[in-house]
A = this chain, B = another copy of it.
Amino acid sequence: MRISEAGGEQSIIDWFSAHSSASHLQLPVGIGDDCAVLPAAGSTLVTTDILIENTHFRLDINHFRDIGWKSVAVNLSDIAAMGGIPTYTFLSIGLPDMDVDDAHELFTGIVECVEAGGSVIAGGDTVFSSTGITISVTQLGLVGPCGYTKRSSAKAGDAIIVSGTLGDSIAGLKLLLKDGLVKTEVEYPHLVRRHLHPEARLNASMASVNTGDVCAMMDISDGLCKDLHRLCTASNVGAIIESTKLPLSDELHAAALYLETTAADLAASGGEDYELLLTCPAEHVDVVLDAIVGVHCQATVIGRVTQSLDVVLLDENSNPTNWPNPWEHF
């Protein structure tokens, strides 16, 4: 059955009302009026990201549920990047007249990710789109008790830390494009999941910020190379990264061989990692590492911030080497 046969836009609003957490009912005004009304609050974080079919995802190498999940996760990752706590999610969704079951899978992924992040769907807009699926999410968050973390506060001498492992998502995407969904999910389940179903590092963010030792932080959405350059530019510093220290998953090593590249290159160029990139004074690095590991998230020192503005990658012999070409959308 198509959406048009199931009641159109109103049926979608009804679905979200029935399947969302009841928390939005505690708002002064929740779903269903011209605006949501949110209670008075301290400093508010706001981020917005839009995912468009055939730019950010393709239906042939994806599950509808994962598309929904990821559309929210990339926004939660921005909240994590600032050390925030997710509060309210607003959805703008453009859909073709698609199968209702597929649409409900998409919505289920959205709701699952919103709830996993401790957020509440507080409003949105659903419209017809003749040209494919578009999902725009605006995520609000609260600043935690230790304040927020900007990308412009790195200082020369800081240690550079990343959460999790790098390169998994880009490897997953390359494999999906090469071999399709069915084969890749069997052979590289971890890499596929890292690409299709990213987890925002909300706990690692809060744990590290609560140490009071984090100087600068951002999330890695366009790959370490691009995003580290952004952090350095914003902070007016440089960096030295040791490629041998980049955290790599076992599956990435195996995939790199198959993809005729190296795991370190995939990790350094990457893209859609949604890991945290942060800096802290060298003398406090153990405190920050312990805090992140304490919430069951890997954390690795990969280099240090420098006064010189160059952003240098060192090879296995500690010689400067070229950054691999950054990742691009299809």
Stretch of A87-95, A100-108, A283-291 on the interface side: A87-95
A130 touches which one: B29, B38, B42, B54 (CB < 8 A)?
B54
Q: What does DSSP make chain A's interface, helix, strand, loop or mixed? A: strand
Minimum Cβ distance to chain B for residue A169 (Å) = 17
Q: Which residues of B contact A127 (CB under 8 A)?
A: 50, 52, 55-56
Q: Would you call A79 an interface residue if the criterion is a C-beta within 8 Å of the partner chain's C-beta atoms?
A: yes
Q: Which residues of B contact A82 (CB under 8 A)?
A: 29, 33-35, 37
Minimum Cβ distance to chain B for residue A213 (Å) = 19
Given contacts A33-B151, A35-B78, contact A140 B46 (CB under 8 A): yes
A90 touches which one: B39, B46, B134, B234 (CB < 8 A)?
B46
Q: Which residues of B contact A123 (CB under 8 A)?
A: 46-48
Q: Would you call A180 an interface residue if the criterion is a C-beta within 8 Å of the partner chain's C-beta atoms?
A: no
Given contacts A129-B52, A134-B94, A134-B134, contact A143 B37 (CB under 8 A): yes
Copies of this protein in the assembly total 2
Q: Which residues of B contact A53 (CB under 8 A)?
A: 131
Q: Would you call A32 an interface residue if the criterion is a C-beta within 8 Å of the partner chain's C-beta atoms?
A: yes
> Are A50 and B125 touching (Cβ within 8 A)?
yes
A contact residues, total (Cβ < 8 Å): 61
Q: Which residues of B contact A55 (CB under 8 A)?
A: 94, 127-130
Given contacts A34-B81, A35-B82, A136-B136, contact A131 B54 (CB under 8 A): yes
Q: Which residues of B contact A50 (CB under 8 A)?
A: 92-94, 125, 127, 134, 136
Given contacts A34-B81, A35-B82, 8 further A-B pairs with CB under 8 A are A33-B150, A37-B143, A37-B148, A46-B122, A48-B123, A48-B125, A49-B92, A92-B138
